[in-house]
Amino acid sequence: MKYALRTKELQKRYKGFTALNGLTMNVPAGAIYGFVGRNGAGKTTLIRLITGLQQPTGGEFELYDAKNSERGISKARRRMGAVVETPAIYLDLSARDNLKQQYKMLGLPDMKGIDELLELVGLGDTGRKKAKNFSLGMRQRLGIAISLCGDPDFLVLDEPINGLDPQGIIEIRELILKLNRERNITILISSHILDELAKLATHYGFIDHGRMIREMSAEELEQSCRKCVRMSVTDTGALSRVLDGMGIDYKILDDKTADVFAQLNFTQMALTLSKEGCEIITMEEKDESLESFYISLVGGEEQ
Amino acid sequence: MINLLSVGYSKLFKNLAFRVCLIIMAALPMFLTAVSVSKTAPGSGPLNGIYNTGMIFIGLLIGAFVSVYISQDHSEKTLNNKIMAGYSRAVIYLADFIVTVSGALMMQLMCILASSLIAVPARGMYTEPFADAVKQQFILFCVVAVYTALVLLICTVINSKAHAVAVSLMAVMVMLIAGISVYDMTVRKGEAPAASTEVTTEDKVVKTLYNVLPQSQMYAVMEEHIPADAAKMICYDAAAIAVMTAAGIVIFKKKDIK
Protein backbone atom coordinates (compact mmCIF):
# COMPACT_ATOMS: atom_id res chain seq x y z
CA MET A 1 0.00 0.00 0.00
CA LYS A 2 1.18 3.51 -0.83
CA TYR A 3 1.14 6.05 1.94
CA ALA A 4 0.86 9.82 1.82
CA LEU A 5 2.07 10.17 5.39
CA ARG A 6 3.71 7.82 7.85
CA THR A 7 4.93 8.79 11.29
CA LYS A 8 7.09 6.69 13.54
CA GLU A 9 7.32 7.28 17.29
CA LEU A 10 6.87 11.00 16.67
CA GLN A 11 7.43 13.17 19.71
CA LYS A 12 6.93 16.82 20.52
CA ARG A 13 7.79 18.17 23.91
CA TYR A 14 7.25 21.72 25.06
CA LYS A 15 8.48 23.12 28.35
CA GLY A 16 6.97 20.83 30.95
CA PHE A 17 4.42 19.34 28.56
CA THR A 18 4.48 16.45 26.12
CA ALA A 19 2.06 17.02 23.26
CA LEU A 20 3.03 13.99 21.18
CA ASN A 21 4.32 10.93 22.93
CA GLY A 22 5.58 8.47 20.32
CA LEU A 23 2.80 8.76 17.76
CA THR A 24 2.82 6.24 14.95
CA MET A 25 0.29 6.64 12.17
CA ASN A 26 -0.17 5.69 8.53
CA VAL A 27 -2.30 7.67 6.10
CA PRO A 28 -2.91 5.64 2.92
CA ALA A 29 -2.81 7.56 -0.37
CA GLY A 30 -6.30 8.32 -1.67
CA ALA A 31 -7.93 8.01 1.77
CA ILE A 32 -10.00 10.43 3.78
CA TYR A 33 -8.30 9.91 7.12
CA GLY A 34 -10.29 10.97 10.15
CA PHE A 35 -7.95 11.96 12.91
CA VAL A 36 -10.01 11.69 16.06
CA GLY A 37 -9.16 12.91 19.50
CA ARG A 38 -10.38 15.18 22.24
CA ASN A 39 -9.11 18.74 22.68
CA GLY A 40 -5.44 18.70 23.62
CA ALA A 41 -4.92 15.12 22.44
CA GLY A 42 -2.18 16.24 20.03
CA LYS A 43 -4.02 16.50 16.69
CA THR A 44 -2.97 20.05 15.83
CA THR A 45 0.55 19.44 17.10
CA LEU A 46 0.96 16.59 14.63
CA ILE A 47 -0.30 18.81 11.82
CA ARG A 48 2.12 21.58 12.81
CA LEU A 49 4.97 19.11 12.67
CA ILE A 50 4.16 17.69 9.25
CA THR A 51 3.56 21.15 7.78
CA GLY A 52 6.95 22.34 9.04
CA LEU A 53 5.58 24.97 11.41
CA GLN A 54 7.30 23.17 14.26
CA GLN A 55 10.08 20.63 14.54
CA PRO A 56 9.65 17.27 16.28
CA THR A 57 11.72 16.59 19.39
CA GLY A 58 11.88 12.88 18.61
CA GLY A 59 10.83 10.23 16.12
CA GLU A 60 10.38 10.80 12.42
CA PHE A 61 7.83 11.08 9.67
CA GLU A 62 7.70 10.47 5.96
CA LEU A 63 5.72 12.56 3.54
CA TYR A 64 5.45 10.76 0.22
CA ASP A 65 8.54 8.76 1.12
CA ALA A 66 10.56 11.88 1.97
CA LYS A 67 11.83 11.75 5.54
CA ASN A 68 11.52 14.88 7.66
CA SER A 69 15.28 14.90 8.21
CA GLU A 70 16.02 14.88 4.48
CA ARG A 71 16.27 17.86 2.13
CA GLY A 72 13.52 16.38 -0.04
CA ILE A 73 10.92 17.19 2.61
CA SER A 74 10.51 20.75 1.26
CA LYS A 75 9.70 19.35 -2.16
CA ALA A 76 7.30 16.83 -0.64
CA ARG A 77 5.57 19.64 1.24
CA ARG A 78 4.79 21.24 -2.10
CA ARG A 79 2.49 18.25 -2.70
CA MET A 80 0.60 19.15 0.43
CA GLY A 81 -1.91 21.88 1.21
CA ALA A 82 -3.09 22.61 4.72
CA VAL A 83 -5.46 24.68 6.79
CA VAL A 84 -4.14 24.68 10.35
CA GLU A 85 -6.73 25.85 12.90
CA THR A 86 -7.85 29.17 11.40
CA PRO A 87 -7.47 29.79 7.65
CA ALA A 88 -4.26 31.60 6.66
CA ILE A 89 -5.66 34.46 4.60
CA TYR A 90 -4.96 38.14 4.02
CA LEU A 91 -8.00 39.79 5.57
CA ASP A 92 -7.53 43.04 3.64
CA LEU A 93 -7.64 41.29 0.29
CA SER A 94 -10.48 39.81 -1.75
CA ALA A 95 -10.75 36.06 -2.31
CA ARG A 96 -9.27 36.43 -5.80
CA ASP A 97 -6.35 38.57 -4.56
CA ASN A 98 -5.64 36.06 -1.81
CA LEU A 99 -5.37 33.29 -4.40
CA LYS A 100 -3.20 35.51 -6.62
CA GLN A 101 -0.80 35.98 -3.71
CA GLN A 102 -0.62 32.24 -3.16
CA TYR A 103 -0.06 31.60 -6.86
CA LYS A 104 2.78 34.13 -6.88
CA MET A 105 4.29 32.56 -3.79
CA LEU A 106 4.26 29.12 -5.35
CA GLY A 107 5.72 30.58 -8.52
CA LEU A 108 2.88 29.25 -10.67
CA PRO A 109 3.27 30.40 -14.27
CA ASP A 110 -0.24 31.81 -14.80
CA MET A 111 -3.40 32.62 -12.87
CA LYS A 112 -5.71 30.48 -15.02
CA GLY A 113 -6.82 28.15 -12.25
CA ILE A 114 -8.07 30.89 -9.92
CA ASP A 115 -11.59 31.11 -11.34
CA GLU A 116 -11.98 27.34 -11.24
CA LEU A 117 -10.81 27.22 -7.63
CA LEU A 118 -13.17 30.00 -6.59
CA GLU A 119 -16.05 28.19 -8.25
CA LEU A 120 -15.01 24.91 -6.66
CA VAL A 121 -15.21 26.34 -3.14
CA GLY A 122 -18.30 28.41 -3.91
CA LEU A 123 -16.65 31.83 -3.71
CA GLY A 124 -16.97 32.68 -7.39
CA ASP A 125 -19.39 35.53 -6.79
CA THR A 126 -17.62 37.37 -3.95
CA GLY A 127 -16.12 39.99 -6.29
CA ARG A 128 -14.07 42.64 -4.50
CA LYS A 129 -15.46 41.87 -1.06
CA LYS A 130 -12.57 41.72 1.38
CA ALA A 131 -11.93 38.54 3.33
CA LYS A 132 -12.39 40.40 6.62
CA ASN A 133 -16.07 40.80 5.70
CA PHE A 134 -16.51 37.08 4.96
CA SER A 135 -18.50 34.76 7.20
CA LEU A 136 -16.64 32.03 9.08
CA GLY A 137 -17.70 29.43 6.50
CA MET A 138 -16.53 31.61 3.60
CA ARG A 139 -13.16 32.14 5.28
CA GLN A 140 -12.85 28.42 5.83
CA ARG A 141 -13.61 27.77 2.17
CA LEU A 142 -11.12 30.45 1.11
CA GLY A 143 -8.53 28.78 3.33
CA ILE A 144 -9.21 25.49 1.57
CA ALA A 145 -8.99 27.20 -1.83
CA ILE A 146 -5.57 28.62 -0.87
CA SER A 147 -4.41 25.21 0.25
CA LEU A 148 -5.54 23.81 -3.11
CA CYS A 149 -3.35 26.20 -5.12
CA GLY A 150 -0.70 24.22 -6.92
CA ASP A 151 -2.90 21.10 -7.14
CA PRO A 152 -1.76 19.28 -4.00
CA ASP A 153 -2.05 15.51 -3.68
CA PHE A 154 -2.50 15.69 0.07
CA LEU A 155 -4.79 18.07 1.93
CA VAL A 156 -4.62 18.54 5.69
CA LEU A 157 -7.63 20.12 7.36
CA ASP A 158 -7.52 20.90 11.05
CA GLU A 159 -11.02 21.07 12.54
CA PRO A 160 -12.52 22.40 9.28
CA ILE A 161 -16.10 22.51 10.53
CA ASN A 162 -15.50 24.14 13.90
CA GLY A 163 -17.90 27.02 14.42
CA LEU A 164 -19.79 26.49 11.17
CA ASP A 165 -23.57 26.51 10.91
CA PRO A 166 -25.34 23.36 9.61
CA GLN A 167 -25.41 24.70 6.06
CA GLY A 168 -21.68 25.49 6.24
CA ILE A 169 -20.94 22.01 7.58
CA ILE A 170 -22.80 20.40 4.68
CA GLU A 171 -20.95 22.59 2.16
CA ILE A 172 -17.54 21.73 3.58
CA ARG A 173 -18.43 18.04 3.73
CA GLU A 174 -19.52 18.01 0.10
CA LEU A 175 -16.40 19.89 -0.91
CA ILE A 176 -14.15 17.40 0.88
CA LEU A 177 -15.91 14.45 -0.74
CA LYS A 178 -15.68 16.12 -4.15
CA LEU A 179 -11.96 16.77 -3.76
CA ASN A 180 -11.33 13.19 -2.76
CA ARG A 181 -13.49 11.58 -5.43
CA GLU A 182 -12.91 13.88 -8.38
CA ARG A 183 -9.32 14.95 -7.81
CA ASN A 184 -8.18 11.88 -5.90
CA ILE A 185 -6.72 14.05 -3.15
CA THR A 186 -5.71 12.30 0.06
CA ILE A 187 -7.30 14.15 2.94
CA LEU A 188 -6.36 14.18 6.60
CA ILE A 189 -9.11 15.72 8.73
CA SER A 190 -8.68 16.27 12.40
CA SER A 191 -11.88 16.62 14.34
CA HIS A 192 -13.64 15.84 17.54
CA ILE A 193 -17.07 16.02 15.91
CA LEU A 194 -17.30 12.29 15.37
CA ASP A 195 -20.70 12.00 13.74
CA GLU A 196 -19.59 14.38 11.01
CA LEU A 197 -16.37 12.46 10.45
CA ALA A 198 -18.36 9.24 10.13
CA LYS A 199 -19.98 10.67 6.99
CA LEU A 200 -16.62 11.24 5.33
CA ALA A 201 -13.77 9.12 6.52
CA THR A 202 -12.48 5.98 4.86
CA HIS A 203 -9.85 5.48 7.56
CA TYR A 204 -9.59 6.49 11.18
CA GLY A 205 -6.85 7.18 13.67
CA PHE A 206 -7.84 7.54 17.31
CA ILE A 207 -5.42 9.57 19.39
CA ASP A 208 -5.27 10.33 23.07
CA HIS A 209 -2.58 11.91 25.23
CA GLY A 210 -0.31 12.22 22.21
CA ARG A 211 -0.42 8.52 21.37
CA MET A 212 -2.24 6.56 18.70
CA ILE A 213 -4.73 4.28 20.38
CA ARG A 214 -5.98 2.57 17.27
CA GLU A 215 -5.95 2.89 13.49
CA MET A 216 -8.64 1.25 11.42
CA SER A 217 -10.52 1.41 8.17
CA ALA A 218 -14.14 2.59 7.96
CA GLU A 219 -15.19 -1.04 7.27
CA GLU A 220 -13.45 -2.23 10.40
CA LEU A 221 -15.05 0.53 12.40
CA GLU A 222 -18.46 -0.25 10.96
CA GLN A 223 -17.95 -3.84 11.96
CA SER A 224 -17.05 -2.76 15.48
CA CYS A 225 -20.04 -0.44 15.71
CA ARG A 226 -22.48 -2.81 13.96
CA LYS A 227 -25.96 -3.13 15.41
CA CYS A 228 -26.33 -6.55 17.03
CA VAL A 229 -27.94 -8.61 19.74
CA ARG A 230 -25.56 -9.73 22.46
CA MET A 231 -26.67 -13.11 23.77
CA SER A 232 -25.51 -14.94 26.87
CA VAL A 233 -26.28 -18.65 26.59
CA THR A 234 -25.36 -21.85 28.39
CA ASP A 235 -23.80 -23.41 25.29
CA THR A 236 -22.34 -21.31 22.47
CA GLY A 237 -21.70 -24.50 20.47
CA ALA A 238 -25.45 -25.14 20.26
CA LEU A 239 -26.06 -21.47 19.49
CA SER A 240 -23.56 -21.58 16.68
CA ARG A 241 -25.22 -24.68 15.16
CA VAL A 242 -28.64 -23.02 15.28
CA LEU A 243 -27.42 -19.74 13.79
CA ASP A 244 -25.51 -21.54 11.05
CA GLY A 245 -28.68 -23.44 10.22
CA MET A 246 -30.61 -20.16 10.02
CA GLY A 247 -27.91 -18.52 7.90
CA ILE A 248 -27.41 -15.67 10.42
CA ASP A 249 -24.13 -13.80 10.83
CA TYR A 250 -22.67 -13.96 14.34
CA LYS A 251 -19.50 -13.65 16.35
CA ILE A 252 -18.64 -15.83 19.35
CA LEU A 253 -17.03 -13.67 22.04
CA ASP A 254 -16.44 -16.35 24.69
CA ASP A 255 -17.88 -19.74 25.72
CA LYS A 256 -21.09 -18.09 26.92
CA THR A 257 -21.45 -14.90 24.88
CA ALA A 258 -22.02 -14.12 21.22
CA ASP A 259 -22.99 -11.11 19.09
CA VAL A 260 -25.73 -11.91 16.57
CA PHE A 261 -26.04 -9.55 13.62
CA ALA A 262 -29.73 -9.87 12.71
CA GLN A 263 -33.25 -9.01 13.82
CA LEU A 264 -34.29 -12.06 15.84
CA ASN A 265 -37.65 -13.59 16.64
CA PHE A 266 -36.87 -14.16 20.32
CA THR A 267 -39.59 -16.76 20.95
CA GLN A 268 -38.58 -18.87 17.94
CA MET A 269 -34.92 -18.56 18.87
CA ALA A 270 -35.60 -19.61 22.48
CA LEU A 271 -37.60 -22.66 21.34
CA THR A 272 -35.00 -23.75 18.79
CA LEU A 273 -32.16 -23.41 21.28
CA SER A 274 -34.17 -25.26 23.89
CA LYS A 275 -34.46 -28.24 21.51
CA GLU A 276 -30.63 -28.22 21.30
CA GLY A 277 -30.42 -28.21 25.07
CA CYS A 278 -29.26 -24.63 25.34
CA GLU A 279 -30.81 -21.90 27.48
CA ILE A 280 -30.74 -18.17 26.93
CA ILE A 281 -29.48 -16.32 30.03
CA THR A 282 -29.64 -12.70 28.77
CA MET A 283 -30.27 -10.88 25.52
CA GLU A 284 -29.54 -7.19 24.91
CA GLU A 285 -29.60 -5.02 21.84
CA LYS A 286 -26.25 -3.34 21.17
CA ASP A 287 -25.86 -0.30 18.91
CA GLU A 288 -22.47 1.39 19.37
CA SER A 289 -21.99 4.81 17.84
CA LEU A 290 -18.61 6.13 16.74
CA GLU A 291 -18.73 8.33 19.79
CA SER A 292 -19.26 5.50 22.25
CA PHE A 293 -16.68 3.43 20.41
CA TYR A 294 -14.16 6.24 20.86
CA ILE A 295 -15.09 6.65 24.51
CA SER A 296 -14.64 2.93 25.06
CA LEU A 297 -11.23 3.14 23.36
CA VAL A 298 -10.09 6.10 25.43
CA GLY A 299 -11.54 4.62 28.61
CA GLY A 300 -9.74 1.36 27.88
CA GLU A 301 -6.47 3.19 27.44
CA GLU A 302 -6.87 5.06 30.69
CA GLN A 303 -7.45 1.86 32.62
CA MET B 1 13.21 34.22 -2.92
CA ILE B 2 12.01 36.13 -6.01
CA ASN B 3 8.49 34.74 -5.55
CA LEU B 4 8.50 35.80 -1.90
CA LEU B 5 9.72 39.28 -2.83
CA SER B 6 6.98 39.57 -5.44
CA VAL B 7 4.35 38.63 -2.84
CA GLY B 8 5.97 40.95 -0.30
CA TYR B 9 6.00 43.99 -2.57
CA SER B 10 2.41 43.56 -3.72
CA LYS B 11 1.39 43.22 -0.07
CA LEU B 12 3.50 46.26 0.88
CA PHE B 13 1.74 48.59 -1.52
CA LYS B 14 -1.65 47.44 -0.25
CA ASN B 15 -0.61 47.86 3.39
CA LEU B 16 -2.50 50.69 5.06
CA ALA B 17 0.22 51.39 7.63
CA PHE B 18 2.79 51.79 4.87
CA ARG B 19 0.54 54.13 2.91
CA VAL B 20 -0.12 56.28 5.97
CA CYS B 21 3.61 56.42 6.75
CA LEU B 22 4.32 57.49 3.17
CA ILE B 23 1.76 60.26 3.47
CA ILE B 24 3.32 61.41 6.75
CA MET B 25 6.76 61.32 5.12
CA ALA B 26 5.38 63.67 2.49
CA ALA B 27 3.37 65.98 4.73
CA LEU B 28 5.89 66.39 7.57
CA PRO B 29 8.90 67.44 5.40
CA MET B 30 6.66 69.75 3.40
CA PHE B 31 5.52 71.45 6.58
CA LEU B 32 9.04 71.72 8.03
CA THR B 33 10.38 73.06 4.72
CA ALA B 34 7.55 75.57 4.48
CA VAL B 35 8.42 76.80 8.00
CA SER B 36 12.10 77.15 6.99
CA VAL B 37 11.16 79.01 3.84
CA SER B 38 8.99 81.41 5.82
CA LYS B 39 11.85 82.08 8.26
CA THR B 40 14.39 82.95 5.58
CA ALA B 41 14.33 86.10 3.51
CA PRO B 42 13.39 85.77 -0.16
CA GLY B 43 16.51 85.56 -2.30
CA SER B 44 18.58 84.25 0.59
CA GLY B 45 19.74 81.34 -1.54
CA PRO B 46 18.94 77.65 -1.78
CA LEU B 47 18.10 75.66 1.34
CA ASN B 48 20.86 73.06 1.09
CA GLY B 49 20.23 69.95 3.18
CA ILE B 50 16.66 70.91 4.01
CA TYR B 51 15.51 67.59 2.50
CA ASN B 52 16.96 65.79 5.50
CA THR B 53 14.88 67.64 8.06
CA GLY B 54 11.85 65.38 7.78
CA MET B 55 14.00 62.33 8.51
CA ILE B 56 14.08 63.05 12.26
CA PHE B 57 11.06 60.89 13.01
CA ILE B 58 11.52 58.24 10.34
CA GLY B 59 12.56 55.74 13.03
CA LEU B 60 9.14 55.96 14.63
CA LEU B 61 7.41 55.55 11.30
CA ILE B 62 9.57 52.54 10.51
CA GLY B 63 8.72 51.13 13.93
CA ALA B 64 5.03 51.50 13.20
CA PHE B 65 4.95 50.27 9.62
CA VAL B 66 7.40 47.37 9.87
CA SER B 67 5.83 46.03 13.06
CA VAL B 68 2.31 46.19 11.59
CA TYR B 69 3.45 44.68 8.29
CA ILE B 70 5.38 41.78 9.83
CA SER B 71 3.01 41.07 12.73
CA GLN B 72 0.10 40.93 10.30
CA ASP B 73 1.81 37.97 8.64
CA HIS B 74 1.93 36.23 12.03
CA SER B 75 -1.56 37.17 13.20
CA GLU B 76 -3.27 36.33 9.89
CA LYS B 77 -1.14 33.17 9.73
CA THR B 78 -0.11 33.91 6.16
CA LEU B 79 3.42 33.20 7.34
CA ASN B 80 2.30 29.56 7.60
CA ASN B 81 1.60 29.50 3.85
CA LYS B 82 5.20 30.50 3.15
CA ILE B 83 6.60 27.79 5.41
CA MET B 84 4.21 25.17 4.06
CA ALA B 85 5.19 26.15 0.52
CA GLY B 86 8.64 24.84 1.42
CA TYR B 87 10.62 28.08 1.80
CA SER B 88 13.38 28.01 4.35
CA ARG B 89 12.94 30.29 7.29
CA ALA B 90 16.18 32.14 6.52
CA VAL B 91 14.87 32.97 3.04
CA ILE B 92 11.53 34.14 4.47
CA TYR B 93 13.32 36.36 6.99
CA LEU B 94 15.66 37.85 4.41
CA ALA B 95 12.79 38.47 1.99
CA ASP B 96 10.91 40.31 4.75
CA PHE B 97 14.00 42.37 5.50
CA ILE B 98 14.50 43.31 1.86
CA VAL B 99 10.84 44.27 1.39
CA THR B 100 10.63 46.33 4.58
CA VAL B 101 13.96 48.06 4.02
CA SER B 102 12.77 48.92 0.50
CA GLY B 103 9.62 50.37 2.02
CA ALA B 104 11.72 52.44 4.42
CA LEU B 105 13.88 53.61 1.50
CA MET B 106 10.74 54.72 -0.34
CA MET B 107 9.81 56.75 2.72
CA GLN B 108 13.28 58.33 2.69
CA LEU B 109 12.94 59.20 -1.00
CA MET B 110 9.46 60.58 -0.38
CA CYS B 111 10.97 62.88 2.26
CA ILE B 112 13.52 64.26 -0.21
CA LEU B 113 10.91 64.70 -2.92
CA ALA B 114 8.36 66.40 -0.66
CA SER B 115 10.89 68.85 0.81
CA SER B 116 12.26 69.68 -2.61
CA LEU B 117 8.78 70.36 -3.95
CA ILE B 118 8.59 73.33 -1.55
CA ALA B 119 12.25 74.32 -1.22
CA VAL B 120 13.37 74.37 -4.86
CA PRO B 121 10.56 76.53 -6.29
CA ALA B 122 10.83 78.90 -3.30
CA ARG B 123 14.61 79.30 -2.93
CA GLY B 124 16.10 77.72 -6.06
CA MET B 125 18.01 74.51 -6.79
CA TYR B 126 20.43 73.25 -4.13
CA THR B 127 24.03 74.25 -4.70
CA GLU B 128 25.84 71.61 -2.65
CA PRO B 129 27.73 68.98 -4.69
CA PHE B 130 25.55 66.12 -5.86
CA ALA B 131 28.10 63.56 -4.65
CA ASP B 132 27.86 64.95 -1.10
CA ALA B 133 24.07 64.71 -1.20
CA VAL B 134 24.33 61.09 -2.30
CA LYS B 135 26.80 60.32 0.52
CA GLN B 136 24.46 61.89 3.07
CA GLN B 137 21.55 59.85 1.77
CA PHE B 138 23.62 56.68 1.91
CA ILE B 139 24.43 57.26 5.60
CA LEU B 140 20.77 57.99 6.28
CA PHE B 141 19.79 54.84 4.40
CA CYS B 142 22.13 52.85 6.67
CA VAL B 143 20.37 54.39 9.67
CA VAL B 144 17.00 53.47 8.18
CA ALA B 145 18.20 49.90 7.60
CA VAL B 146 19.36 49.60 11.22
CA TYR B 147 15.93 50.67 12.47
CA THR B 148 14.29 48.19 10.10
CA ALA B 149 16.53 45.33 11.21
CA LEU B 150 15.81 46.17 14.86
CA VAL B 151 12.04 46.20 14.42
CA LEU B 152 12.11 43.02 12.35
CA LEU B 153 14.05 41.30 15.14
CA ILE B 154 11.52 42.48 17.74
CA CYS B 155 8.61 41.21 15.63
CA THR B 156 10.32 37.83 15.32
CA VAL B 157 10.66 37.51 19.07
CA ILE B 158 7.18 38.82 19.94
CA ASN B 159 4.17 37.05 18.42
CA SER B 160 1.31 39.30 19.42
CA LYS B 161 0.67 42.10 16.94
CA ALA B 162 -0.29 44.65 19.60
CA HIS B 163 2.73 43.82 21.75
CA ALA B 164 5.09 43.81 18.78
CA VAL B 165 3.92 47.27 17.66
CA ALA B 166 4.12 48.66 21.19
CA VAL B 167 7.58 47.23 21.92
CA SER B 168 8.90 48.32 18.51
CA LEU B 169 7.75 51.89 19.05
CA MET B 170 9.19 51.92 22.54
CA ALA B 171 12.52 50.54 21.32
CA VAL B 172 12.72 53.15 18.58
CA MET B 173 11.77 55.84 21.06
CA VAL B 174 14.58 54.74 23.39
CA MET B 175 17.03 54.84 20.45
CA LEU B 176 15.73 58.27 19.53
CA ILE B 177 16.12 59.70 23.03
CA ALA B 178 19.53 58.06 23.49
CA GLY B 179 20.65 59.49 20.16
CA ILE B 180 19.46 62.97 21.03
CA SER B 181 21.13 62.82 24.46
CA VAL B 182 24.45 61.62 23.10
CA TYR B 183 24.35 64.14 20.30
CA ASP B 184 23.57 66.89 22.79
CA MET B 185 26.44 65.83 25.07
CA THR B 186 28.85 65.74 22.15
CA VAL B 187 27.80 69.12 20.81
CA ARG B 188 28.00 70.76 24.26
CA LYS B 189 31.43 69.26 24.79
CA GLY B 190 32.52 70.71 21.45
CA GLU B 191 31.17 74.14 22.30
CA ALA B 192 32.62 74.27 25.82
CA PRO B 193 35.96 76.06 26.27
CA ALA B 194 38.67 73.43 26.24
CA ALA B 195 39.69 73.08 29.89
CA SER B 196 41.93 70.17 29.16
CA THR B 197 43.05 68.32 26.05
CA GLU B 198 43.02 65.01 27.89
CA VAL B 199 40.52 62.49 26.46
CA THR B 200 38.72 60.72 29.29
CA THR B 201 37.07 57.30 29.17
CA GLU B 202 33.70 59.06 29.35
CA ASP B 203 34.61 61.07 26.25
CA LYS B 204 35.51 57.87 24.44
CA VAL B 205 32.26 56.20 25.41
CA VAL B 206 30.19 59.18 24.36
CA LYS B 207 32.07 59.46 21.08
CA THR B 208 31.57 55.75 20.35
CA LEU B 209 27.88 55.99 21.18
CA TYR B 210 27.69 59.06 18.97
CA ASN B 211 29.02 57.03 16.07
CA VAL B 212 27.01 53.91 16.86
CA LEU B 213 23.51 55.20 17.66
CA PRO B 214 21.40 55.64 14.51
CA GLN B 215 19.64 58.75 15.73
CA SER B 216 22.88 60.58 16.59
CA GLN B 217 24.19 59.61 13.17
CA MET B 218 21.10 61.22 11.70
CA TYR B 219 21.69 64.44 13.65
CA ALA B 220 25.32 64.37 12.60
CA VAL B 221 24.30 64.23 8.94
CA MET B 222 21.87 67.10 9.44
CA GLU B 223 24.45 69.25 11.19
CA GLU B 224 27.71 68.35 9.51
CA HIS B 225 26.27 67.08 6.19
CA ILE B 226 29.17 64.62 5.81
CA PRO B 227 30.18 63.62 9.37
CA ALA B 228 33.89 63.31 10.09
CA ASP B 229 33.42 59.68 11.16
CA ALA B 230 31.11 58.76 8.27
CA ALA B 231 33.05 55.62 7.34
CA LYS B 232 33.03 54.42 10.96
CA MET B 233 29.31 55.08 11.22
CA ILE B 234 28.60 53.03 8.10
CA CYS B 235 30.72 50.17 9.46
CA TYR B 236 28.87 50.24 12.78
CA ASP B 237 25.55 50.23 10.94
CA ALA B 238 26.58 47.31 8.73
CA ALA B 239 27.72 45.36 11.80
CA ALA B 240 24.49 46.14 13.66
CA ILE B 241 22.38 45.02 10.68
CA ALA B 242 24.43 41.82 10.30
CA VAL B 243 24.21 40.95 14.01
CA MET B 244 20.50 41.69 14.33
CA THR B 245 19.61 39.86 11.11
CA ALA B 246 21.69 36.82 12.06
CA ALA B 247 20.09 36.77 15.51
CA GLY B 248 16.65 37.14 13.95
CA ILE B 249 17.24 34.23 11.57
CA VAL B 250 18.51 31.97 14.37
CA ILE B 251 15.52 32.80 16.57
CA PHE B 252 13.07 32.41 13.69
CA LYS B 253 14.55 29.03 12.73
CA LYS B 254 14.07 27.68 16.24
CA LYS B 255 10.66 29.19 16.74
CA ASP B 256 7.55 27.04 17.02
CA ILE B 257 4.94 28.66 14.80
CA LYS B 258 1.33 28.29 15.85
pLDDT in tens, B98-132: 999 999 999 999 999 998 898 888 877 778 888 88
DSSP string, chain A: --EEEEEEEEEEEETTEEEEEEEEEEEETT-EEEEE--TTSSHHHHHHHHHTSS--SEEEEEETTEETTSTTHHHHHTTEEEE-SS----TTSBHHHHHHHHHHHHT-S-STHHHHHHHHTT-TT-TT-BGGGS-HHHHHHHHHHHHHTT--SEEEEESTTTT--HHHHHHHHHHHHHHHHHS--EEEEEES-HHHHHTT-SEEEEEETTEEEEEEEHHHHHHHT--EEEEEES-HHHHHHHHHHHT--EEE-SSSEEEE-S---HHHHHHHHHHTT--EEEEEEE---HHHHHHHHHHHHH-
pLDDT in tens, A123-151: 888 888 998 998 888 888 898 889 888 88
pLDDT classification of A303: cutoffs 50, 70, 90: very low
Same-domain status, A73 and A141: yes
**CB < 8 Å to A94, chain B:** none
B residues 133-192 lying closer than 8 A (beta carbon) to A:
none
Name the residue among A52, A81, A93 with its Cβ closest to that of B83.
A52
Closest alpha carbon within chain B to A86: B77
8 Å CB contact of A88 and B80: yes
pLDDT classification of B196: cutoffs 50, 70, 90: low
The residue segments making up the domain with residue A256 are 226-287
Same-domain status, A81 and A180: yes
> Residue A21 in contact with residue A210, Cβ under 8 Å?
yes
Interface test with A, best of B1, B6, B15, B84 (most A CBs within 10 A): B84
Residue extents of the structural domains in chain B: 2-254
Q: What pLDDT is recorded for position B98? A: 95
- For residue A300, pLDDT beyond 60: no
Same-domain status, A115 and A177: yes
Does A231 map to a domain? yes
Same-domain status, A243 and A191: no
Q: What pLDDT is recorded for position A302? A: 45
Q: What pLDDT is recorded for position A259? A: 85
Does A74 lie at the interface with B, CB-CB under 8 angstroms?
A: yes
- b/e per residue A62-96 (b: at least 16 CB within 10 A): bbbebebeeeebeebbebbbbbbbbbbbbebbbbb
pLDDT classification of B252: cutoffs 50, 70, 90: very high
Q: What pLDDT is recorded for position A19? A: 87
**CB < 8 Å to B258, chain A:** 48, 53, 85
Same-domain status, A260 and A210: no
Number of structural domains in chain A:
2
Same-domain status, A187 and A245: no
Give the distance from residue B102's alpha carbon to the nearest chain A alpha carbon, in angstroms.
Answer: 19
Does A299 map to a domain? no
Same-domain status, A212 and A230: no
- For residue B64, pLDDT beyond 60: yes
Does A300 map to a domain? no
Same-domain status, A213 and A275: no
Bridge-based pairing of strands A80-83 and A154-158 is parallel
B residues 59-98 lying closer than 8 A (beta carbon) to A:
76-88
8 Å CB contact of A88 and B256: no
Does A46 map to a domain? yes
Same-domain status, A74 and A146: yes
Same-domain status, A202 and A166: yes
Name the residue among B15, B80, B85 with its Cβ closest to that of A106.
B85
Mean per-residue pLDDT, B169-184: 87
Average pLDDT, chain B: 86
pLDDT in tens, A190-244: 987 777 888 888 998 988 888 898 888 888 877 777 778 888 999 888 888 888 8
Q: Which CATH number belongs to the domain containing residue A264 in this structure?
A: 3.30.70.100
8 Å CB contact of B3 and A106: yes
Q: What pLDDT is recorded for position A171? A: 81
Give the distance from residue A255's alpha carbon to the nearest chain B alpha carbon, in angstroms.
Answer: 53
pTM above 0.90, yes or no: no
Same-domain status, A231 and A213: no
Does A56 map to a domain? yes
Q: Which of B34, B37, B53, B54 is nearest to B45 (CA)?
A: B37
Same-domain status, A251 and A132: no
